Chains A and B, each alone.
Chain A
Amino acid sequence: MDEQLKSELSKQGIFATSLQELYNWGRKNSLWPLNFGLACCAIEMIAATMARYDMARFGAEVFRPSPRQADLMIVAGTITKKMAPQIVRLYNQMPEPKYVISMGACAISGGPFKQGYNVLKGIDRYIPVDVYIPGCPPRPEALIDALMFLQKKIDSQQLTGADRARHLDPDAPSEFIVPQFGAHDLEPPQNPEIWRPPLVEISLAEKNDAGSD
């Protein structure tokens, strides 16, 4: 619908919208995060919901302890190999549509603990992530920014067509493989449908050049 006509109509007291806009509007303004903290970032997540930052202004203050009632998972903290299966299981238990914010350096890539033998190098190896927030830990403002970014993302999602939202695609998976805590590493070490190691281009030197320096 023409934007000008729409604003003209609204002046007459007529509210015109599409189902998609209404759906997205409702969806984005009532995100219920999962009450789920892993490490240091969880304290900043709590701070973001408290009086000074007050995430409730964005409709996301109802932290639910049960994944069945939540639709936003804020992965806040270091994910160890012992904890990763539980996180994927929690994600699988959440009803669609569901979104994931990967909060902090650890949840993105392992962060300062990346060299550790027990640290998962990013939760995006097992579940799809919508928004990443860098920082160690990110400030509450950064979390609120991520939430607003997610709201914009939800606002622009299509209900039909080829580029419709993931949860409306019957072929897109809603549950993902839960890794097992194996003898040496998690099994599988990543979910290949979601994440693949970045390709590194290695160009070998020509035979003639060998040993020139």
Chain B
Amino acid sequence: MSTATEAVRLIPKPTDSHECQLLEVSMGPQHPSTHGVFRMDVALDGERVVKLKPVFGYLHRNHEKIAETESYLGSMPYTDRLDYMCSLTSNWAYALAVEKLAGIQVPERAEYLRVITAELTRLQNHASLIGFLLQDMGASGTPLMYAFREREKILDLFEALTGARMMCNYMRFGGCRVDMPAGWLQQAQKVVDAFPRFLDEYEQLFTENEILMARTQGVGVLSGELAVNAGITGPMLRASGVNYDIRKVDKYGIYERFAFRVPLGDHGDVYDRYMLRMLEMRESVKILQQALRDIPPGPIMDPKTKIRGFRPKAGEAYGRTESPKGELGFYLISDGSSNPYRYRVRPPSLVNLTVLEGMCLGQNVADVMAILGSVDIVMGEVDR
């Protein structure tokens, strides 16, 4: 029997003593709240989760293998489709890895453009994530509608800049593909200026909402120690109180120029993860305000970089960025040819999912959806 069709036996065969009867439920791959094609085999004792086994691979589309046969630049559009909610940060992580590998410098204006697009991406990702999280908990419609209303404004900016709403394919090795069109900066300024008002409205809806607090506080607690040991990164790690933000640690790009704080959680529960993203959006707005103010004129591409027939010398490099979901890294090994010898993605979604069982054990089955929603996964990145 093959692995896909095989029913996973979580529960031992029932014995004669009828003390407890466990129920095995397969949640997914078609499920309204699994954020794509993800399956969890859950063993339930009444409403309580006794065992949880995540099953991956329903969206494994051979990203790494295809990238090893493509040219370096040819992989850039595929990185868009890794984490399809935030293509621009994936672009940046890959560009960073290749730039490290080939020793390419990036002009200042391009660095600013990268920061602006990445932080806009973070805004729309976090806003939509909170919408999805609340949708999973039963607030159908309103939160997601509000989030997507704002997301559309940001996608309009992406479309004007890169020509695509979602699959931006914008970064290049040594800069960005195109410069901003006329009036884009003013438009971006308008969107960024209006964003805190949306956040206030959003927070007014949720932050002190009794139902949200009852559903999320003390649910899915992840201790800081376990988070560090399991390699959790991003908002999930910081919600557990560990101060680790790659924008601050690595200071990649030009992040050391911006004044922003790293919000931290206390309890590591779902509510903290929700609140942390709210605060992070406000910090992103601060970064955006500074970047939009300071962006200098100049070239957007390093003129020395050869785009066609790009062959970095043999070696290896690991480039990582703080994507909205966590540490997104690309590990490349070059053998001097036009395509990478090994291309490996370190997906934050997958690594953050590994502690799912630990967070869900002993919780109610309805809370599993809230916990999964707060992890912030995108299956394109989990399965690659």
Which residue numbers of A lie inside 8 Å of B, CB to CB? 35-40, 42-44, 46-47, 50-52, 63, 65, 67, 77-78, 80, 82-83, 85-86, 90, 112-113, 115-119, 136-137, 139, 180-183
CB-CB under 8 A from B60, the residues of chain A are 80, 82, 118
Determine which residue in B32, B77, B85 has the highest number of CB atoms from chain A within 10 A of its CB, and name it. B32
Distance, CA A52 to CA B159, complexed state (A): 16
Neighbour of B144 across the interface among A38, A50, A86, CB < 8 A: A50
Residue B310 is within 8 A (CB to CB) of chain A in the complex? no
Residue B235 is within 8 A (CB to CB) of chain A in the complex? no
Instruction: Say yes or no: A116 contacts B30, CB within 8 Å.
Output: no
Residue B166 is within 8 A (CB to CB) of chain A in the complex? yes
Distance, CA A175 to CA B210, complexed state (A): 47
Instruction: Say yes or no: B62 contacts A43, CB within 8 Å.
Output: no
Instruction: Say yes or no: A90 contacts B30, CB within 8 Å.
Output: yes
Instruction: Say yes or no: A139 contacts B165, CB within 8 Å.
Output: yes
CB-CB under 8 A from B145, the residues of chain A are 50-51
Nearest to B39 among chain A residues (CB) is A86
Instruction: Say yes or no: B5 contacts A47, CB within 8 Å.
Output: no
Instruction: Say yes or no: A43 contacts B85, CB within 8 Å.
Output: yes
Given contacts A43-B84, A180-B5, 17 further A-B contacts (CB under 8 A): A37-B36, A38-B59, A39-B59, A40-B166, A43-B166, A47-B151, A67-B30, A78-B61, A80-B57, A83-B58, A86-B58, A116-B61, A116-B65, A116-B66, A117-B65, A118-B60, A183-B2
Distance, CA A181 to CA B60, complexed state (A): 14
Instruction: Say yes or no: B4 contacts A85, CB within 8 Å.
Output: yes
Known A80-B58, A180-B2; judge A50-B167 contact (CB<8 A). no
Distance, CA A155 to CA B332, complexed state (A): 54
Residue B202 is within 8 A (CB to CB) of chain A in the complex? no
A52 CB to closest chain B CB, in angstroms? 5
Residue B31 is within 8 A (CB to CB) of chain A in the complex? yes
Instruction: Say yes or no: B78 contacts A112, CB within 8 Å.
Output: yes
CB proximity to A under 8 Å, residues B36-61: 36-37, 57-61
Distance, CA A112 to CA B82, complexed state (A): 12
Nearest to B85 among chain A residues (CB) is A43
Instruction: Say yes or no: B81 contacts A42, CB within 8 Å.
Output: no
Instruction: Say yes or no: B166 contacts A113, CB within 8 Å.
Output: no
CB-CB under 8 A from A181, the residues of chain B are 2-5
Known A39-B379, A40-B81; judge A137-B167 contact (CB<8 A). yes
Instruction: Say yes or no: B380 contacts A39, CB within 8 Å.
Output: yes
Contacts A/B (CB < 8 Å), 29 sampled: A36-B30, A39-B59, A39-B379, A40-B380, A43-B84, A44-B165, A46-B148, A50-B144, A50-B145, A52-B148, A52-B152, A63-B32, A67-B30, A77-B59, A78-B61, A82-B4, A83-B37, A83-B59, A86-B58, A90-B30, A112-B77, A112-B78, A113-B66, A115-B66, A116-B62, A116-B65, A117-B62, A117-B65, A181-B5
B220 CB to closest chain A CB, in angstroms? 23
CB-CB under 8 A from B78, the residues of chain A are 112
Distance, CA A40 to CA B77, complexed state (A): 13
Instruction: Say yes or no: B59 contacts A136, CB within 8 Å.
Output: no
Distance, CA A206 to CA B151, complexed state (A): 62
A100 CB to closest chain B CB, in angstroms? 15
CB proximity to A under 8 Å, residues B1-29: 2-5, 29
CB-CB under 8 A from A51, the residues of chain B are 145, 148-149, 152
